[in-house]
A and B are shown apart, each in its own frame.
Chain A
């Protein structure tokens, strides 16, 4: 039930200010997702979608920091 899937925003329809909708690509599939609760999103951003709504923007910087920390841990133990 709490399954949420990351997808990439293709475009955002701002015509209804009460219900901003984005076209979002999930792998090969596309779907309309409400981005009503996210103010700082634009085409190209990744969001986490759940039952037709975007819960959050996926923070690219944080994702990179996490993966880099893991890789550095790996390299410190094994050499680059």
Chain B
């Protein structure tokens, strides 16, 4: 397919990796924020093509993985209400809450429906005027505008039986939380290209400046990832702590102004608990006062509580790059995609799912005492 196949060209991948190897002079810790990029790295065994000095740390850019346990519990509580149809993306179905997941709730009789698009959930509400349809909205700034558009459309069409359980999160506050941690060893970032199609470059510049790290906006195909890495290595070696765009076919400097505008109209910033990581200030979105009638928390008077991570899952250490999935005692044995103990094994973007799916082919064969190089 056009705009995909060209970026899977094996010769270009090899050429870029050779060039990176020639230009690198020391070891660098590089975090790819987005779980989609982690999957590309694993699927195409890119880590094996890269010089030893590049230590890739897998970041928290998996919205399904960071959705807090209490949100899953609330979604399940709503789904068990016989008057409710709970709609969400397929990825959310197997994510464990405190006791169960949405798929098990469905097996027990809850009306849980997978949708491709938020607008499909609104259509469900119009098709079932006798039921309350709640859309469980997760995702980063890539996804939030589509949900904002749907909420605005629900108001325009006056659909009274539609509401949203909002669990959206934002990337920049998470980057700042990682960089501000005393455990931080990140030298540079590959920023999530699809988030930037909406948000543009601007909010990354103060981060690059304040924390002295270069940030390269990067796409998702193998050539895109290596192009991002090549750009980043050049900036690291040259000491340039700036923002560059290596995904220019899709990301404009200003992002998508209309998508940003509708997000600003429908959502306000809020503090949000990230699964395994903790509360990050201003890292979440909630419905603004103008749209609070569509807030499922309000409509169903759900309590705002926090729940601890159940069981053995070390999601926090995985999501902040302190541990790699195979370092977890449950990985591949007690915890598999069929029987996940934690969210990173469920999501199509979770690091554990990527290591499980692509196994030794994608895994970095080098010994890893710690996933982060000290220097």
Contacts and interface: CB of A to CB of B under 8 A. Distances in A.
Interface of A: 1-4, 6, 8, 18-19, 26-27, 34, 36-38, 46, 48, 50-53, 55-56, 58-60, 62-63, 65-67, 70, 73-74, 77
Contacts of A62: 248-249
A3 B2 CA distance: 16
Interface in B192-210: 192, 194-195, 197-198
Given A4-B194, A58-B249, A37 B145 contact: yes
A52 B348 contact: no
Contact of B250 (A8, A18, A51, A58): A58
B89 interface: yes
B153 interface: yes
Nearest to B1: A27
Interface in B45-91: 61-64, 89, 91
A36 B119 CA distance: 13
Contacts of B120: 52
Given A46-B3, A62-B249, A2 B119 contact: no
Contacts of B256: 37-38, 55-56
Contact of A74 (B12, B138, B227): B12
B127 to A, nearest CB: 17
B143 A2 contact: yes
B142 A2 contact: yes
Given A2-B36, A4-B194, 8 more contacts: A1-B64, A3-B194, A8-B2, A53-B146, A56-B252, A63-B3, A74-B12, A77-B15
B117 A53 contact: yes
A22 B313 CA distance: 43
Interface in B259-307: 259, 262
Contact of A1 (B15, B89, B119): B89
A3 B61 CA distance: 12
B198 A55 contact: yes
Interface string B218-251: 0010010001000000000000000000001111
A70 B192 contact: no
A2 B140 contact: yes
Contacts, number: 125
A1 B2 contact: no
A38 B149 CA distance: 14
A45 B118 CA distance: 24
Contacts of B156: 18
Interface centre among A8, A46, A52, A59 (most CB of B within 10 A): A52
A57 B249 CA distance: 8
Contacts of A26: 1
Contacts of A59: 248-250
A26 B119 CA distance: 19
A51 B197 contact: no
Of the candidates A6, A51, A62, the one having the most CB atoms from chain B within 10 angstroms of its own CB is A51
In the complex, which of the residues B2, B195, B252, B349 has the most CB atoms of chain A within 10 Å of its own CB atom? B2
B118 A56 contact: no
A34 B153 CA distance: 12
B116 A2 contact: no
A66 B245 CA distance: 11
A14 B223 CA distance: 36
Nearest to A77: B15
Contact of B118 (A52, A58, A63, A74): A52
8 contacts: A1-B89, A1-B138, A6-B4, A50-B143, A56-B250, A66-B227, A67-B6, A74-B11
